[in-house]
Structure 1
Amino acid sequence: MDKQTQIELEAAAFRTLRDHLMDKRTDVQNIDMMNLAGFCRNCLSRWYQEAANERGIEMDKNQARDIFYGMTMDDWKATYQTDANPEKQAEFEVSFKENVGGKD
């Protein structure tokens, strides 16, 4: 497989993942994703922002999140986010430190 085809396939897979989380699995909470997989929608949007910035494209955290969520973070939280119990919050603290550290 040539490099350009590989890039196009990877981009298509990423778009499918983004669309799946944005449209089909809005019930899946970020805290659950972070606790189970070590990343969440915010991580994906941060990686998107970092890739843009590395290529000289100015993009801040909120712009990247708007692209990834399909709406503002506040709108997403109001529409889809549920409260996490103390156990999930404690698990999140550990997972966040292990997988994200000082980045947000």
Structure 2
Amino acid sequence: MTPEQIQQIEAGAFRRLLKHLDNNKDVQNIDLMIVADFCRNCLSKWYMAEAKEIGVDIDYDAAREAVYGMPYSEWKANHQAEATPEQMAAFEARQAAGKSS
């Protein structure tokens, strides 16, 4: 494969990931963090960092809008539930386990 083909494939896979997350708004960020140690906000930070790598200045709000498909405040108001005590305990355990490795 050429570098251009690799880049096209990676970009397409990222778009599919965003579409999958958009189609599954019921999956909370905290659940993603517990299971996979990343969430939509992490993707937004990675998006912003990659833009910077190629000389494009994009702020965190714009990066989150690119990932969430809407302003973060709108997504949060319409789709984000309060984390349960069980979710917080699982998240904290995941974070503690990551620090010891």
TM range (shorter): 0.7 to 0.9
How much has 1:92 moved relative to structure 2?
Answer: 2.1
Aligned CA RMSD, in angstroms, stands at 1.6
Separation in 1 of the partners of 2:93 and 2:52? 28
Deviating 4+ runs (over 6 angstroms) = none
Q: Percent identity?
A: 46
Residue of structure 1 equivalent to 2:87: 88
Unmatched tracts of structure 2, length 5 or more: none
Structure with bigger RCO (C-alpha 8 Å, 6+ apart): 1
Unmatched tracts of structure 1, length 5 or more: 100-104
Alignment size in residue pairs: 98
How much has 1:94 moved relative to structure 2?
Answer: 4.4
TM-score using structure 1 length: 0.85
TM-score using structure 2 length: 0.88
Structure index of larger Rg? 2
- Deviations 1:32-70 (Å, cap 9, x if unpaired)? 001000101111111000000111111111110011111
